[in-house]
Amino acid sequence: MTIKEELKGKNIIIPENPVSNFLFNNTRSGLLWLVVRLYLGYAWLNAGIHKVTSDKWVGSDAGAGLTGFVKGAVGKAADGKDVTGWYASFLENMVLPNAKVFSYFVAFGEVLVGLGLILGLLTGVAAFFGAFMNASFLFAGTLSTNPLLFILATWIVLGWKVAGWYGLDRWALPFLGTPWNSRNKKNQSISG
């Protein structure tokens, strides 16, 4: 019998190493994630509050702040610097004509990501959308703290099961259910 025939139809489980098992599956790592979450959440909430309270983002002149940012990114692409052509095309043809709508998405999205991370509510989802925004800003040629925030958010996404343990996820995830343990099934609470 060949190896291929032997393995056909078998589920092979590769054990996780102790470090990743601790970080991504052990509730004792929740304190580490709490520190990362609070740092990241504060960064997003602070940025979002500045936008939500600015007329150039959500006020009477909504879209003006984003328009300036997008025009700067498109200009970088024209100069052959920091922004790829496909992303500049997306910004120019999709974002600029809808700058007011995107402005609201960015401002309130930053606030929601910040609150989700600080409260530890749907932590993995909040971190995913934070990482998505960081990637968007990086594609637009903005370095700043975006690489660090992107890396931290990506790690929180990986540790979503325990990253919100010291937060509302401790109760929300068992209540909402998880893909492998839906609310409709008789499930055991991870908080008990």
Domain coordinates in residue numbering, the chain: 33-176
- Write down the pLDDT at residue 187: 44
What pLDDT is stored for residue 86 in this prediction? Answer: 95
**Residue ranges of the chain with pLDDT lower than 50?**
184, 186-192
Rounded-to-integer distance, Cα 131 and Cα 156, Å: 10
Q: At what angle do helices 123-139 and 146-158 cross, to 10 degrees?
A: 150
What is the per-residue pLDDT for 10?
A: 78
Instruction: Say which residues have a Cβ less than 8 Å from residue 88's Cβ, sequence separation at least 6.
Output: 73, 74, 76, 77, 78
At 90 the pLDDT is 96
Written as six digits, the tokens of 45 are 């909430």
> Residue 12 and residue 17: Cα distance in Å, rounded?
16
Structure tokens at 173: 């995830």
* CB-based contact 55:62 (threshold 8 Å): yes
pLDDT tens digits along 35-60:
999 999 999 999 999 999 999 999 99
Maximum alpha-carbon separation in the chain:
74
pLDDT for 4: 67
pLDDT value for 7:
67
pLDDT for residue 191:
47
Please give the pLDDT value at position 74. 94
Contact yes or no for 154/169 (Cβ under 8 A):
no
